[in-house]
Amino acid sequence: MKKKVNIILIKDNLKQGKKGSLINVARGYAFNYLIPSKIAEIATSKKIKHIKMLENIKTKQKEANQIESKLLQDNIKKIEKISVYKKKGKTNLIFGNVTEKDITKWVNKYTNLSINKIQIQIVETKLIGIRNIKIQINPKVSVDIPINIIPTNI
């Protein structure tokens, strides 16, 4: 009789590992605790094949996302500056504020790239002049772009 058995975790388990991982445990531990409490199930050849297929799909999606974010980063780096026109008051302060919506419109209009408002981080933009904004492409990669706030006459 075998002393160890292969099982697949259905739920995350602190001691054993994450959901979907294949582990080798003692037979009694598997049949008396893990399987009855629905933490794991017995690993069959079809289930193992299915888990490997899902892992391959995840790695391919990660690679595709990395390539897409690299292309987006290269296209955003081509932008030299963003010019936004705003009405000016007497003290060189603009009326309103430069928002993420203004920047997404500009980027979409002039470069045909689509970025979300969530990806844009703007520093205080109440004064006329040049400021830097940060566009977050993914959690690890961000690009700084100068934004030129140009006054218009009232």
pLDDT digits (tens, 9 = 90+) for 88-119: 887 878 888 888 888 888 888 888 888 888 88
Cα distances (Å, whole numbers) of residue 145 to 54, 72, 113, 139, 142: 39, 14, 15, 17, 10
Rounded to two decimals, the pTM is 0.61
Residue 127 CA to its chain's centroid (Å):
32
Tens-digit pLDDT string for the chain (154 aa): 678 999 999 988 777 788 888 899 999 999 999 899 999 999 999 999 998 999 999 999 999 988 988 888 888 888 888 888 888 887 878 888 888 888 888 888 888 888 888 888 887 777 888 888 888 888 888 888 888 888 886 5
Structural domains in the chain plus CATH codes: 4-71 (3.40.5.10), 79-152 (3.10.430.100)
